[in-house]
Structure 1
Amino acid sequence: MKQTQLKQLKKTLTDLPPLTDMAEYLQSAVLVPLLWIEGEYHFVFEKRAPQIRQGGEVCFPGGKIDATDHSPKMTAIRETCEELGCAKETIELLGNLGMQIVPTGMLVHAYLGIVHEKLEHFQISESEVAEVFTVPVAYFLQNEPELYNCEVRVHPYAIDRETGEKEIFLPSDTLNLPSIYHEPWGAARHKVYVYRYQEKMIWGITAKIIYHLMQQLQAIEKEEDKKP
């Protein structure tokens, strides 16, 4: 490697994204919307329409990042406007909540924002959203989530349940890889957070975003309590 190449590499490294293999993931963005209702902030949740992917689940508004979106932030705002039927001008973006990695191969960019609109004025997209409801932020500050685990493994092949045929993804034997890689390996534990609110089940990546946000808010509260 030449010194000129090293200097150019140094410049490139400073501009690398948080994950160097981000392009290999399906990327989406969500907005965590806040509404001011009766003297306190509420989170706005959607229940997905039954006919779409993951129908019936509770989530925040958002979706896949389109090629025409200039940034994940733009995706989050666009999807929120489409799904909730609110105007872009009513959304006050507060900041970036970071990026979550889903074991199924997805990156989720999350943003926090206030929607300056009344819940009853939303014109939800019925093709995507079955129901919209709110939960006070205070509920999540006062209630810890249930914590479960899923096992995540790397599978070098899959067996078709109907035909019994084996589809090889990684030819471990012909590549002469160690025998441990001829069968599924890894067995890592993936944390799954669950909040129960009335009859609603808020779980998965949505609950994880809330949990980490509550951790930040609780840390802020502790710092404020220390002040004279």
Structure 2
Amino acid sequence: MHNLLKERLSGYAPRQLALDYPEAGILVPVTDDHHNPEMVFTLRSSNLNTHRGQVAFPGGKRDLTDASLAATALRETHEEIGLPPEQVQIVAPLSQVMSRYGILVTPYVGVIPHDHPLQANPFEIESIFKVPLEFFLEDRRERTDALDFLDHTFYVPCYRWERYQIWGLSAVVLVDFLNAVYDAGIDLLEPPVTNTSRTGA
């Protein structure tokens, strides 16, 4: 799986946002199962100050001691879901995104063992779940949200997997991954044929 992702992301030029904001690094974890690769998500605790009760990729704000944003993503992933950095093969960054709390987020695609046990940190994470990539490639979105950013409107899919809703910033990162790796052709700049609903990111 690592070689496949490395090959498909080798020619990808992630978008960099020239914005002076606090930074964060997140991991976009993909399991190393060649036949049925899955993506790992977390449900954030309802007790947190930001993004409480929302689906997110593991990660967080950069510490002064972090050597890089990739190191931030690995450190936070270890803290949140118990996955040691040595179990992650970083492949490449995706395009930067801005959270509604004024955080500049850099996602990193990483390959992880499909059978490595994951343990949610109860202070930050309510639960951990995996979704097969083929589910997203079928684009079975539950709805589309119209999100405004820098004088543009983005039409972002919301996916439902079991009891979880994957939307907002996490969905933007997910779509960037699907388009870059699988040429999924999911257009965030044009509204789909179905109805849209407006909400916050």
Deviation of 1:104 (Å): 4.3
Deviation of 1:68 (Å): 1.1
Matching residue's letter, 1:78: R
More displaced stretch, 201-210 vs 121-130: 121-130
Please report the RMSD computed on the Cα atoms of aligned residues, expressed in angstroms: 2.5
Partner of 2:139: 143
Compared with structure 1, are the counterparts of its residues 75 and 148 closer, same or farther at alpha carbon in structure 2 (3 Å cutoff)? same
Q: How many Å separate the matches in 2 of 1:94 and 1:52?
A: 30
Partner of 1:42: 38
Compared with structure 1, are the counterparts of its residues 64 and 140 closer, same or farther at alpha carbon in structure 2 (3 Å cutoff)? same
Show structure 1 runs of 5+ residues with no match: 1-17, 154-185, 222-228
Partner of 2:78: 81
Deviation of 1:20 (Å): 4.5
Matching residue's letter, 1:148: D
Q: Which structure: larger Rg? A: 1
Percent identity of equivalent pairs:
29
Structure 1 residue aligned with 2:109, among 109, 112, 126? 112
Length-normalised TM-score, structure 2: 0.74
Length-normalised TM-score, structure 1: 0.66
Give 1:34-73 correspondences, 5 Å limit. Answer: 34-37=30-33, 39-53=35-49, 54-73=51-70
User: Aligned with 2:94: secondary structure?
Assistant: strand
State the Cα deviation string for residues 129-181 of structure 1 (Å, max 9, x = none).
Answer: 1100100011111115432214569xxxxxxxxxxxxxxxxxxxxxxxxxxxx
Matching residue's letter, 2:175: Y
Structure 1 residue aligned with 2:176, among 190, 212, 219? 212
State the Cα deviation string for residues 22-67 of structure 1 (Å, max 9, x = none).
Answer: 2xx1211100011245931100010111211222111000001111
Contact 1:86 1:117 in 2 (8 A): no
Structure 2 residue aligned with 1:33, among 5, 18, 29? 29
User: Aligned with 1:98: secondary structure?
Assistant: coil
Structure 1 residue aligned with 2:98, among 89, 97, 101? 101
Contact 1:90 1:117 in 2 (8 A): no
Equivalent pairs counted in the alignment come to 168
State the Cα deviation string for residues 167-215 of structure 1 (Å, max 9, x = none).
Answer: xxxxxxxxxxxxxxxxxxx7x5354431122221000110001111111
Does residue 198 (structure 1) correspond to residue 194 (structure 2)? The answer is no
Show structure 2 runs of 5+ residues with no match: 1-15, 186-201
Compared with structure 1, are the counterparts of its residues 217 and 117 closer, same or farther at alpha carbon in structure 2 (3 Å cutoff)? closer
Q: How many Å separate the matches in 2 of 1:122 and 1:62?
A: 15
- Tell me: higher relative CO, structure 1 or 2? Use CA pairs within 8 A at least 6 residues apart: 2
